[in-house]
Chain A
Amino acid sequence: MMRSLLPRACAFAGALAAALVIAWPAGVLAQADPAFEARLKRLEEELRCLVCQNQSLADSSAPLAEDLRREVRGLAAAGKNDEEIKTFLVDRYGDFVLYRPPVKSTTWLLWYGPFILLAGGGVVWWLIARRRGRRADGDEDDVAVPGATPAAPDAAAATGVARARALLDNPLD
């Protein structure tokens, strides 16, 4: 089935492309304008290939990615700026093609969610710290003060220690 074979096909195509690039005469690639190529590469790295979804347009060797790279190159050569090229793709494939989705009502959770979680974590941390601090103020036993004589263990702790000792002495009781 076409879909289930896609990852394998992508991997194969990738290997093939790598082999081609290695075998390619260096002169052919060097002919192009380096600044233009760098701009295309940067732009294609921001765009997602819809077939191999975890690859960018720059990395993917899926036939659709090739077509879209050709399209992007054509648009760039025709003088379109990066925003216009992105709009061209978003109009056809949706925000999904952008690795950096725009901030809008449907992506608020995506953009601000981590900060909300961080703030929530901060609040929990503050609550725990406050409770610990209060307990330390109220109960001197929890704080070890160097040089001070240890406070006498209270009655409950003493019985506990005595019971533990008794259990250790006569484990079979």
Chain B
Amino acid sequence: MNSSLRLRLLLPLAVFVLIVAFLWVGLSRDPREVPSPLVGKAAPLFTLPQLHASDKTLGTADMKGQVWLLNVWASWCVSCRIEHPLLVELAKANVVPVIGLNYKDKTPEGIAWLAQHGDPYKLSVVDADGRVGIDWGVYGVPETFVVDKNGVIRYKQIGPLTKDALEQKILPLVRELRKA
């Protein structure tokens, strides 16, 4: 077999393999997971009223100096229920403070939801009109951010937390950031 004939036979195979490789990678990705430009940048500042005490506020400044999680949730968000047991478990283990951002919710409904499903949050703050959500680039509740001691976002989980994400990414990252 001469080389030009061999090339002619192998070329379609090579093109096929290339297309398969592209599709394999492309189709296995979740198009809903848009990488956040905020990872590695300073967390957008906010000062918001607390869910359980609307006369008090909590802000990003209050969390300075510690590693913390911001979990965006709402009583209307169905997939929040999926991740909620994990958060409750995490709260029991007392590993890392989790601040809840009650996103575009009605306060009484948010409070009732926590009473029913358990309250894993150190505190929840109210983002009634979703403005802070926009600043944090929230587009699909639930979302969870890891913020370091200097107030820099280090990781963003889009969609419900999973045991895998928590144990393999978030908690090791929290431990590492603690040491820093």
Which residues of A does B touch, CB under 8 Å? 1-3, 5, 50-51, 53, 63-64, 67-68, 71, 90-96
Which residues of B does A touch, CB under 8 Å? 31-32, 34-38, 77-79, 82, 104, 129-130, 133-137, 139-141, 159
For the residues of A in contact with B, the DSSP-based class is helix
A50→B138 CA distance, assembly (Å): 9
The number of A-B residue pairs with CB atoms under 8 Å apart is: 51
Q: Please, which residue of chain B has its CB at the minimum distance from the CB of A48?
A: B34
Q: Please, which residue of chain A has its CB at the minimum distance from the CB of B36?
A: A94
Asked if A2 contacts B77 (CB within 8 A), the reply is yes
Contacting residues, chain B, for A51 (C-beta < 8 A): 139-140
A161→B53 CA distance, assembly (Å): 98
A51→B32 CA distance, assembly (Å): 8
A74→B137 CA distance, assembly (Å): 17
Interface-centre pick from B31, B34, B82, B159 (highest chain A CB count, 10 A): B34
A67→B133 CA distance, assembly (Å): 10
Asked if B79 contacts A93 (CB within 8 A), the reply is no
Q: Please, which residue of chain A has its CB at the minimum distance from the CB of B44?
A: A92
Contacting residues, chain A, for B34 (C-beta < 8 A): 50, 93-94, 96
Contacting residues, chain A, for B140 (C-beta < 8 A): 2-3, 50-51
Q: Please, which residue of chain B has its CB at the minimum distance from the CB of A88?
A: B134
Known: A63-B130, A93-B139. 4 other contacts (CB 8 A): A2-B141, A3-B32, A5-B78, A96-B35
Contacting residues, chain A, for B82 (C-beta < 8 A): 1
Asked if B139 contacts A94 (CB within 8 A), the reply is no
20 A-B contacts (beta carbon < 8 Å): A1-B78, A1-B79, A2-B79, A2-B140, A2-B141, A3-B140, A50-B139, A51-B139, A53-B31, A53-B32, A67-B134, A71-B134, A91-B37, A92-B134, A92-B135, A92-B136, A93-B137, A93-B139, A94-B35, A94-B37
A5→B135 CA distance, assembly (Å): 25
Contacting residues, chain A, for B32 (C-beta < 8 A): 3, 53
* Contact A67/B139 with A53-B32, A93-B34 known, Cβ cut-off 8 Å: no
Asked if A3 contacts B137 (CB within 8 A), the reply is no
Interface-centre pick from A2, A3, A71 (highest chain B CB count, 10 A): A2
Contacting residues, chain A, for B137 (C-beta < 8 A): 92-94
Asked if A90 contacts B134 (CB within 8 A), the reply is no
Distance between B126 CB and nearest chain A CB, rounded to angstroms: 16
A3→B139 CA distance, assembly (Å): 11
* Contact A92/B141 with A3-B32, A53-B32 known, Cβ cut-off 8 Å: no
A94→B136 CA distance, assembly (Å): 11
A122→B101 CA distance, assembly (Å): 56
Contacting residues, chain B, for A5 (C-beta < 8 A): 78
